[in-house]
Amino acid sequence: AQSVTQLDSQVPVFEEAPVELRCNYSSSVSVYLFWYVQYPNQGLQLLLKYLSGSTLVKGINGFEAEFNKSQTSFHLRKPSVHISDTAEYFCAVSESGSEKLVFGKGTKLTVNP
Amino acid sequence: DAGVIQSPRHEVTEMGQEVTLRCKPISGHDYLFWYRQTMMRGLELLIYFNNNVPIDDSGMPEDRFSAKMPNASFSTLKIQPSEPRDSAVYFCASSNPERYEQYFGPGTRLTVT
């Protein structure tokens, strides 16, 4: 079975600062990895996904993530955040080829002016 | 496309009552997922369907919960009888096979008093 650990439950940053949201996973088989974003009172929206190929994945809204198999990590980064990036971010994992996702507990990103 | 549609958006009911949550997936999506989100447990997969057939219901908490998908454009999640610990936001999501991109509805906020 897969599991996901998001190491920070809350991350406050100032506008235009860089941010990294950490995600580690556990699995005995090969995996697909995802980051979703949830804005207040909305459903989740896919930011980016890693299925295979290049370990650096670029997503929407200027976010990117890097798959590190040896560290079993998939950290999310953005070089310069905006107020509008304030939201909760969820890392998720699935067994390769499976549609079933296991989500982490989420990281609340707050961007302050 | 209107996206995934869920109804009602909010439901307040008394303990012991039957609750039915409804979902219309995106047209053409073969997979449908039901999730529950709470502060304590995060985002949990309850059940998912492929081509209207339940594939994995291991996340359904107990026999009080049931889900059906009578056709490709409609699914229900029923709780009977409801209990205060069922209070949560319930999300429906749908996806195309092999795209590994789940599209979430806006959720139904259920409060059981």
pLDDT tens for each residue of B1-47: 689 999 999 999 999 999 999 999 999 999 999 999 999 999 999 99
Mean pLDDT of A27-49: 93
pLDDT score, position A58:
96
Cross-chain residue pair A103–B42, CB shorter than 8 Å: yes
Mean pLDDT of A11-30: 95
Mean pLDDT of A52-80: 95
Mean pLDDT of B75-99: 94
Cross-chain residue pair A105–B42, CB shorter than 8 Å: yes
Is residue A52 predicted with pLDDT exceeding 80? yes
Mean pLDDT of B89-109: 92
Question: Which secondary structure element, helix H or strand E, spans residue A60, and what is its range?
Answer: none
Angle at B23 between CA B21 and CA B27, to 5 degrees: 175
pLDDT score, position A2:
85
Residue A43 touches partner B, C-beta closer than 8 Å: yes
Is residue A32 predicted with pLDDT exceeding 70? yes
Is residue B51 predicted with pLDDT exceeding 70? yes
Mean pLDDT of B76-105: 94
Tell me how far apart the 2 most distant CA atoms of chain B are, in Å: 41
CB count within 10 Å of CB B101 equals 15
CA distance B94 to A9: 27
**% of residues, chain B, pLDDT over 70:** 99
pLDDT score, position B1:
65
Cross-chain residue pair A99–B91, CB shorter than 8 Å: no
Task: Give just the sign of the alpha carbon dihedral B67, B68, B69, B74.
Answer: negative
Q: Which of A90, A99, A103 sits opposite B48 (nearest CB)?
A: A99
Cross-chain residue pair A103–B106, CB shorter than 8 Å: no
To which residue do tokens 């997503």 refer?
A: A59
Is residue B98 predicted with pLDDT exceeding 80? no
| Average pLDDT over chain A, rounded to an integer | 94
Residue A35 touches partner B, C-beta closer than 8 Å: no
Identify the CA nearest to A44 among candidates B32, B52, B105, B55: B105
pLDDT score, position A28:
85
